[in-house]
Chains A and B, each alone.
Chain A
């Protein structure tokens, strides 16, 4: 089993390299200096000045040189300076990253809390109204574009009903550690619930069909034939086999949340990485964009890695010898 995990981790190495190359080439397409954000360039200058400054900043060096310089800087923690905020990019990202990650984790937690009972109910009572209702809910939620869902949720529960705050990650008035903590949670509840509702659909469908399949398997029929009480048949035989695979979904869920943070943070004006990305786009703050794209890509890869590793631990059939 360790062989599989190590092999899988090793596969990530070329993936990370390819990702960095892609981001590098995208960055070279951006105007100005996306690597250090020195701000010395401005469109008003005439061409000769621009060329001279470019040379000074090392932007006319051969591409491999620029690439390795960039990577070297990253590994030293230097992600350049932000045009708009005039602070090191890494500071900005560090501030926001925490918000996004906490929101995502909260969301994953809620996702499993909601999805598992619903999926089990739908599978157990397959064909009844309960199952019909849950399946309908799953179909409907998947179909709606996420951001519309968030927006309507924000409008209904935030503005119309006033149950939850509508912007930000923490209330300015919060004072003291405990108050700050609860304020953060309060701001996270609505976006987390909404995004988890969307994530639950995949798990519910998978869990439901897993339970239905396992119910028809021969080992279940054997257990029943042996006279094992139905409750135990369900818990020990059917559930256990159906629950394990959805652990692997965790990685996918996290990946989806990271990608979707662009939308949800915009709707809720939540200061995380997604909002930072859009704001930077609007203010032409390319150094942040470059670093964020790299970071998002890395987190996606990590999410996939997590999924694959959990899957190989949980399902012995997938292991490669």
Chain B
């Protein structure tokens, strides 16, 4: 072993006993320096958590109860911070409740589609071959369908319709994009030597997929998850705006925005629909900015 010292003196740098930080901590450190990312994170987290908590604490029946005496009250009157809507409901409370519902739907759909996309994408990307071909044909089949239209259609004709069925319907048509993304990411990783090395080390396929491959695409998963949440909340609000999202008696940001379809309301009573519009805009922007920042930070790390 006489070569050892010479070789190490030439090649090794700092020789400390400390552990190097793991992947996530590194990305987090990178993000801390990105001012825009941090601001977005604070705004997004505050909105998401704040609205969900506040909305959950409200009594739904009380908030949705019509009070015709209070119709169209301007902001500041009678204890209504943001005024009242055409049915006399308090805009602020309705906003909180509707926001919470929209957020929950958006997050649920994203979690489901991300999970499905990850599983299917990983299996297809890893095994390839006939299985991959068949599944991809199925994905292509789903992508032929005009999704927004069919979702609206299914919402219309489903009996016993509620928030859960909405989540399932949207998820049924939203998993394809993630699947394709995961599959191509896994493809590019699965051909690398360390996967072959794991196979020769005797590790089973399932363990390889779970412990070796998925951690290597974890930053992409987080990015996709974040951007997905922004997109799916937006989708739910859009569907509710058209009238085909949550059931009519359930508050949603979309139903509030839908008041703007009435030409009188849109000009004369902006407080009815403007807060919800601004809220969804700020929410979507802050989540998206943060998601993009994660992606940039992850890319920067790959290059070292």
Q: Residues of A with Cβ closer than 8 Å to B?
A: 15, 18-19, 22, 26, 29-31, 139-140, 142-148, 151-152, 154-155, 159-160, 166-167, 259, 262-263, 266-267, 277-278, 281-282, 289, 292-293, 296-297, 300-301
Indicate if the CB atoms of A300 and B146 lie closer than 8 Å. Answer: yes
3 pairs of A and B residues whose beta carbons are closest in the complex: A145-B234, A143-B288, A296-B146
Q: Add 13 more A-B contacts to A26-B154, A277-B152 (CB < 8 A).
A: A18-B144, A139-B289, A143-B230, A147-B238, A147-B241, A148-B237, A151-B260, A152-B281, A166-B263, A262-B242, A278-B243, A281-B152, A297-B146
**Among candidates B144, B242, B266, B284, residue contacting A297 with C-beta atoms closer than 8 Å:** B144
A266 to B240, CA, bound (A): 13
Residues of B within 8 A of A142 (CB): 288
Sampled A-B contacts (21; CB under 8 Å) = A19-B145, A30-B157, A31-B157, A139-B288, A140-B285, A143-B287, A143-B289, A144-B285, A145-B237, A146-B238, A147-B238, A147-B241, A148-B237, A154-B266, A166-B263, A259-B147, A266-B261, A281-B156, A282-B243, A293-B146, A297-B145
Residues of B within 8 A of A143 (CB): 230, 284-285, 287-289
Indicate if the CB atoms of B153 and A293 lie closer than 8 Å. Answer: yes
**Among candidates B144, B147, B242, B281, residue contacting A144 with C-beta atoms closer than 8 Å:** B281
Residues of A within 8 A of B287 (CB): 143
Indicate if the CB atoms of A277 and B149 lie closer than 8 Å. Answer: yes
Confirm or deny: B206 has a beta carbon within 8 angstroms of a beta carbon on chain A. no
A143 closest partner in B (C-beta): B288
Residues of B within 8 A of A144 (CB): 234, 281, 284-285
Residues 148-168 (chain B) with a chain A CB within 8 angstroms: 148-150, 152-154, 156-157
A146 to B235, CA, bound (A): 9
Indicate if the CB atoms of A15 and B144 lie closer than 8 Å. Answer: yes
A255 closest partner in B (C-beta): B146
Residues of B within 8 A of A19 (CB): 144-145
Residues of A within 8 A of B235 (CB): 145
Residues of A within 8 A of B288 (CB): 139, 142-143
Residues of B within 8 A of A292 (CB): 149
A267 to B261, CA, bound (A): 7
Contact status of A151 and B153, CB under 8 A, knowing A15-B144, A143-B285: no
Residues 214-230 (chain B) with a chain A CB within 8 angstroms: 230
Confirm or deny: B277 has a beta carbon within 8 angstroms of a beta carbon on chain A. yes
B176 → A minimal CB distance (Å): 14
Residues of A within 8 A of B145 (CB): 19, 22, 297
Residues of A within 8 A of B285 (CB): 140, 143-144
A250 to B152, CA, bound (A): 26
Contact status of A151 and B292, CB under 8 A, knowing A22-B145, A281-B156, A297-B146: no
B220 → A minimal CB distance (Å): 18
**Among candidates A30, A155, A167, A293, residue contacting B150 with C-beta atoms closer than 8 Å:** A293
Contact status of A159 and B267, CB under 8 A, knowing A30-B157, A151-B277: yes
A147 to B148, CA, bound (A): 13
Indicate if the CB atoms of B284 and A155 lie closer than 8 Å. Answer: no
Residues of A within 8 A of B149 (CB): 259, 262, 277, 292-293, 296
Residues of B within 8 A of A296 (CB): 146, 149
B276 → A minimal CB distance (Å): 9
Residues of B within 8 A of A160 (CB): 267
Indicate if the CB atoms of B257 and A151 lie closer than 8 Å. Answer: yes
A99 to B67, CA, bound (A): 42
Indicate if the CB atoms of B157 and A266 lie closer than 8 Å. Answer: no
Indicate if the CB atoms of B148 and A259 lie closer than 8 Å. Answer: yes
B297 → A minimal CB distance (Å): 15
A289 closest partner in B (C-beta): B153
A262 to B243, CA, bound (A): 12
A295 to B241, CA, bound (A): 24
Residues of A within 8 A of B292 (CB): 139
B230 closest partner in A (C-beta): A143
Indicate if the CB atoms of B144 and A155 lie closer than 8 Å. Answer: no
Residues 249-304 (chain B) with a chain A CB within 8 angstroms: 257, 260-261, 263, 266-267, 270, 273, 277, 280-281, 284-285, 287-289, 292
B158 closest partner in A (C-beta): A29
Indicate if the CB atoms of B263 and A148 lie closer than 8 Å. Answer: no
Contact status of A148 and B257, CB under 8 A, knowing A278-B242, A289-B153, A297-B144: yes
A262 to B239, CA, bound (A): 10
Indicate if the CB atoms of B144 and A22 lie closer than 8 Å. Answer: yes
Indicate if the CB atoms of B157 and A152 lie closer than 8 Å. Answer: no
A3 → B minimal CB distance (Å): 21
A233 to B150, CA, bound (A): 49
Indicate if the CB atoms of A29 and B280 lie closer than 8 Å. Answer: no
Indicate if the CB atoms of B260 and A263 lie closer than 8 Å. Answer: no
A140 to B238, CA, bound (A): 18
Indicate if the CB atoms of A26 and B284 lie closer than 8 Å. Answer: no
Residues 116-174 (chain B) with a chain A CB within 8 angstroms: 141, 144-150, 152-154, 156-157
B292 closest partner in A (C-beta): A139
Indicate if the CB atoms of B242 and A152 lie closer than 8 Å. Answer: no
Residues of A within 8 A of B241 (CB): 147, 263, 266
A282 to B149, CA, bound (A): 13
Indicate if the CB atoms of A262 and B144 lie closer than 8 Å. Answer: no
A296 to B146, CA, bound (A): 7
Indicate if the CB atoms of B152 and A155 lie closer than 8 Å. Answer: no
**Among candidates B141, B260, B284, residue contacting A145 with C-beta atoms closer than 8 Å:** B284
